[in-house]
Amino acid sequence: MNEKMNYITPSGFALLRAEYQRLFNDERPRLVETIAWAASNGDRSENADYIYGKRRLREIDSRLRFLADRMDRAEVVDPRTLSGDRVVFGATITISNDQDQTFVYQIVGEDEINVPAGKISWKSPVASSLLGKQVGDEVVVQKPGGEEVLVVEKLEFK
């Protein structure tokens, strides 16, 4: 996989687009109105609404540029169109460790990470060690607490 690409699932891309549209169509126009109103109140040097508004506008514009860049570089990969017997981006995997704990993860892009929901980045130590593996394969993952042996139990594309 190309390290510079922004691999993302369709649902992850939809989240980026929704955030961009919310900021661009809702928050930014409201804030511009607030700033214009605050500027019309006279002295801007001690005008908290104006100062905060300008600062927030810079934050929103920065986030919009970031989101636009991420979407421009996005390579959307739909897991439902994938198949095979190897772990790849978009796959949902069931793994177990040597303490008989079982975990289910979907390997997703950096913009859609949500560990409590079972979505891990393809660049994470766990996912990167599992890419290319098959059901039954064991991998050793370096974690802050030491090494952990993981076994691929199940592989799905959904």
DSSP codes of every residue in the chain: --TTSEEE-HHHHHHHHHHHHHIIIIIHHHHHHHHHHHHTTS--TT-HHHHHHHHHHHHHHHHHHHHHHHHHTEEE--GGG--SSS--TT-EEEEEETTS-EEEEEEE-GGG-BGGGTEEETTSHHHHHHTT--TT-EEEEEETTEEEEEEEEEEE--
Specify whether 88 is located in the same domain as 149: yes
Specify whether 92 is located in the same domain as 140: yes
> In the listed set 37, 54, 76, which residue is the last one of a domain according to the structure?
76
Specify whether 72 is located in the same domain as 100: no
Residue 1 belongs to some domain of the structure: no
> In the listed set 61, 76, 91, which residue is the last one of a domain according to the structure?
76
Position 55 scores a pLDDT of: 96
The number of domains in the chain is 2
Specify whether 132 is located in the same domain as 148: yes
Specify whether 113 is located in the same domain as 65: no
Specify whether 53 is located in the same domain as 91: no
Residue 66 belongs to some domain of the structure: yes
Specify whether 26 is located in the same domain as 86: no
Give me the domain span that covers residue 122. Answer: 79-156
pTM: 0.83
Position 42 scores a pLDDT of: 76
Position 3 scores a pLDDT of: 67
CATH of the domain at 36: 1.10.287.180
> In the listed set 26, 46, 76, which residue is the last one of a domain according to the structure?
76
Specify whether 108 is located in the same domain as 43: no
pLDDT tens-place values along the chain, 158 residues long: 666 778 999 999 999 999 999 999 999 999 999 999 998 887 777 888 899 999 999 999 999 999 999 999 999 999 999 888 999 999 999 999 989 999 999 999 999 999 999 999 999 999 999 999 999 999 999 888 889 999 999 999 98
